[in-house]
A = this chain, B = another copy of it.
């Protein structure tokens, strides 16, 4: 099972091309290079010429969920830097801004082929775009929300998702009083309509904002529709077959973690005043 691996080598116009080139090759393990690769030349900005090489490697085995969990935060900071007009940033400066070590940043980016050039820093615009592409944000995702309670309505009204390409398409609830009402122009439908709606409207993601008692059976129905992902706010773990992604947001768990840390601080204070 192979996934495309993007290896990128940036050669500065002013530097001796061959040195830059051999340095890049050294970093690239021979087993990562497939005979079937392509060269693309692309002028990134006036200071650098980028050479990308597409090779095949076992990407999905090498990238841990911990690294993936950190990518959205990189994406957020790079987006802010881009909006401020910053063109290049060193791993050191990014490290200070994000309060993670520069070595962590370099290690994380190496998972995807580096994106940088030693002593020259990262191209913000390019890195932002590439991380966005890796996160799958270069394509649109249609989502539905199941459960038209307070949390479901809050998520339906959240415009930031739209900006990232996540489009709110439908809402479902079992309460007959809510059916036919609208949340930001999207109609609330009966649970019986769910399966057909998913198939007919190219829905990728179902957001579950229903009580845990019904979440398990609804998830089973979702799996049968061939949905790609479930964003689960119900306070229960869902068992779904491989290939369907589940991302849990267990708000009570997050609050308990906070409570643990409050307690730890309290104990510390008591010890200090002893």
Interface residues of A (CB under 8 A from B): 1-4, 59-60, 68-69, 71-73, 75-76, 98-99, 134-137, 139, 141, 149-151, 153-155, 157-158, 160-161, 164, 166, 204-205, 228-229, 231, 235, 237, 243, 245, 247, 249-268, 271-272
Contacts and interface: CB of A to CB of B under 8 A. Distances in A.
Number of copies: 2
- Which 9 interchain pairs have the tightest Cβ spacing? A136-B263, A150-B154, A72-B253, A245-B261, A72-B256, A136-B259, A151-B154, A247-B258, A154-B154
A255 B207 CA distance: 10
B262 A228 contact: yes
Given A149-B154, A229-B261, A255 B166 contact: yes
B136 A262 contact: yes
Contact of A256 (B60, B137, B237, B249): B137
Most chain B CB inside 10 Å of its own CB: which residue of A249, A252, A271: A252
Contacts of A204: 262
A140 to B, nearest CB: 10
A73 to B, nearest CB: 6
Contacts of A150: 150, 153-154, 157-158
Contact of A255 (B164, B267, B272): B164
B3 A271 contact: yes
A160 B204 CA distance: 29
A245 B231 contact: no
Nearest to A154: B150
Contacts of A76: 235, 250, 252-253
26 contacts: A2-B271, A4-B267, A60-B264, A68-B260, A69-B253, A72-B252, A73-B237, A75-B256, A76-B235, A76-B253, A134-B263, A136-B260, A136-B266, A137-B256, A149-B154, A150-B157, A150-B158, A160-B235, A160-B252, A161-B255, A164-B255, A164-B256, A229-B258, A245-B258, A247-B254, A249-B249
Interface centre among A68, A137, A158, A259 (most CB of B within 10 A): A259
Nearest to A60: B264
Of listed A139, A151, A266, residue having the most chain B CB within 10 A: A151
A224 to B, nearest CB: 17
Nearest to A153: B150
A254 B262 CA distance: 25
A261 B75 CA distance: 16
